[in-house]
Amino acid sequence: MATMTAAQRREQARFAYDAFLRECPTNQLLARLSDKWVSLVVSALAGHEGPMRYSDLGRKIAGVSQKMLTQTLRTLERDGIVARTVTPSVPVRVDYELTDLGRSLSGLLLAVKDWAETHMDEVADARETYDAAAGAA
């Protein structure tokens, strides 16, 4: 529309930009990876030789509900990070393993997990200091 004012055009551009940021695929993907269960599932698969069965994952992660486990596995499968293999025996057997793409990611997530374990004490100390200072006020 040639009848659009400069202000209108600017407004539209700003709106489109905001929408773009909110729906920015990269941000969405980052949000996906920034998920407690994603970290744990990928870590579990990475720290295990060969594929793992659904129930193995449930046991290893312990604390996950089957709903969240299934949901997480589905999105990871859809994103090409884990591979799902069904063996139509009786009873059914389903195995999960990391894809190449998943393995390229697992190292990074494991590093974060290791950091959490390594620096737990320092964080705990920082919290004590912080809380003490707040309480003294």
Partner DNA sequence: CAGAATCCTTCACGATACTG
Partner DNA sequence: CAGTATCGTGAAGGATTCTG
- Tell me the site size for DNA, rule CB under 7 A: 20
User: Cα angle vertex 65, ends 61, 121, to 5°?
Assistant: 45
Q: Which residue has the tokens 């950091």?
A: 115
Considering only the stretches 1-9, 52-60, 88-96, 100-108, report the one whose residues sit in contact with a copy of itself under the rule CB under 8 A: 100-108
- Residues 105-134 touching a copy of itself, rule: CB under 8 A, are 105, 108-109, 111-113, 115-117, 119-120, 122-127, 129-131
Nearer to DNA, 46 or 94 (CB): 94
Tokens of 29: 């993907």
Residue type, 91: P
C-alpha closest to that of 42 among 94, 87, 95, 108 = 108
User: Could you list the residues that contact DNA (CB under 7 A)?
Assistant: 35-37, 53-55, 63-68, 70, 73-74, 84, 91-94
